[in-house]
């Protein structure tokens, strides 16, 4: 079969090549991939992937071989999946890493849900109820940010969406943002939760905006700059503030089912800002790294 594989010694860091068919384990299904999405972090770290490995993690398609152990979806079912090797014509995924796609949901939109949706859902869930709370989402124009805006609004939060430029704010009000700010300098009232996708000095500023006793979830580091906390800047009177990392992608199936159900009902939408054939991956990468994609990039697989 054909797949997009890591080629760290090449100028692009990847290539489209013929590779062996995946052999599913007893608890895996074999999926014919129709669409795959491209995440910002994946393209930033192309050069660090093992040579020859099939790239990508987000996929949607049809099951062509059911799991040998009898779990999971059957042959012919439309599914969304999260796992390594998504950028190939076929991929094997654990049955705990797939979810059925409702008939009303387009497979290309479903492919944009996994990593960004799971990240936004789990970081918000970890904070407990957000009803009536001021939730600051930095890097709100990206895939995780746009999904977090919608889910925070769904939870009843007052959502503050921070973007890098006014142009990046397009559509955020419709998704549920109560306030849209460029940077963080105009925020003068403490917030109850921060979902930070930017890192660097943004993280330091967001930490200072956080109310005592509350949490900052550090999700991404789009700035590629260090976060420098001045001496004693971590100290704060009152209840302790918490800085938490995120990286839990285990057992994604149930959360994928939640996300696809919400998307099928129109409660949330996967924001696809770029879509094209997988032979145009380089264009997608250029657009993502150039901050020209609002939301996710989706590849159509032959």
Choose among 86, 93, 100: nearest CA to 25. 93
Question: Residue 273 contacts by C-beta under 8 Å, 6 or more apart in sequence?
Answer: 293, 294, 295, 296, 297
Cβ atoms 166, 173 nearer than 8 A: no
With H, G, I as helix, E, B as strand and everything else as coil, classify residue 115. helix
Task: Find out if CATH 3.40.50.720 is the number for domain 116-245.
Answer: yes
Output the tens digit of pLDDT for each of the chain's 302 residues.
Answer: 999 999 999 989 999 999 999 999 999 999 999 999 999 888 888 878 999 999 999 999 999 999 999 999 999 999 999 999 999 999 999 999 999 999 999 999 999 999 999 999 999 999 999 999 999 999 999 999 999 999 999 999 999 999 999 999 999 999 999 999 999 999 999 999 999 999 999 999 999 999 999 999 999 998 889 999 999 988 888 999 999 999 888 999 999 999 999 999 999 999 899 999 999 999 999 999 998 998 899 999 98
User: How much is the pTM?
Assistant: 0.95
CATH 3.40.50.720 in the chain: give the residue spans: 116-245
Of 38, 39, 49, nearest in space to 5 by CA: 49
Helical residues (DSSP H) of 112-252, grouped into ranges: 114-126, 143-154, 172-175, 200-209
Q: Which residues contact 206 (CB under 8 A, 6 or more apart)?
A: 136, 138, 184, 191, 194, 196, 216
Top-tier CATH class for 2-112+270-300? alpha beta
Q: According to the model, what pLDDT value does residue 46 have?
A: 85
Gap between the Cα atoms of 117 and 236, Å rounded:
33
Delimiting residues of CATH 3.90.180.10 domain(s) in the chain: 2-112+270-300
Q: How far apart are CA 46 and CA 216, in angstroms?
A: 28
Nearest residue to 226 (alpha-carbon basis) of 185, 187, 198, 196 = 198
Q: What is the DSSP letter of 142?
A: B
Task: Using alpha carbons, list the distances in angstroms from residue 280 to 4, 89, 100, 214, 220.
Answer: 11, 15, 28, 43, 26
């Amino acid at each position: 079969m054909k797949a997009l594989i890591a080629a760290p010694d090449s100028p692009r860091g990847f290539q489209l090549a013929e590779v062996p068919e995946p052999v599913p384990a007893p608890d895996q299904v074999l999926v014919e991939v129709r669409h795959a999405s491209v995440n910002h972090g994946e393209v930033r770290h192309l050069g660090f992937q093992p040579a020859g490995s099939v790239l990508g993690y987000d996929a949607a398609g049809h099951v062509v071989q059911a799991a040998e152990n009898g779990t999971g979806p059957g042959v012919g079912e439309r599914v969304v999946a999260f796992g390594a090797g998504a950028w190939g014509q076929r991929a094997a995924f654990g049955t705990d890493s797939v979810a059925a796609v409702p008939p009303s949901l387009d497979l290309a939109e479903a492919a944009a849900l996994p990593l960004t949706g799971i990240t936004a859902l789990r970081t918000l869930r970890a904070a407990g109820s957000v009803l009536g709370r001021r939730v600051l989402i930095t890097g709100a124009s990206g895939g995780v940010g746009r999904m977090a805006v919608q889910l925070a609004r769904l939870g009843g939060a007052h959502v503050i969406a921070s973007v890098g430029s006014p142009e990046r704010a397009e559509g955020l009000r419709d998704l549920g943002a109560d306030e849209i700010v460029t940077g963080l300098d105009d925020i003068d009232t403490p917030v109850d939760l921060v979902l930070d996708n930017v890192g660097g000095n943004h993280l330091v500023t967001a930490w200072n905006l956080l109310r005592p006793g509350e949490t900052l979830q550090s999700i991404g580091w789009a700035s590629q700059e260090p976060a420098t906390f001045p001496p004693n800047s971590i100290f704060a009177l009152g209840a302790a503030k918490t800085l938490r990392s995120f990286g839990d992608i285990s057992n994604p199936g149930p959360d994928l089912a939640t996300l696809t159900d919400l998307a099928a009902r129109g409660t949330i939408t996967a924001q696809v800002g770029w879509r094209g054939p997988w032979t145009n991956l380089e264009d997608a990468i250029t657009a993502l790294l150039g901050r020209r994609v609002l939301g996710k990039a989706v590849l159509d697989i032959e």
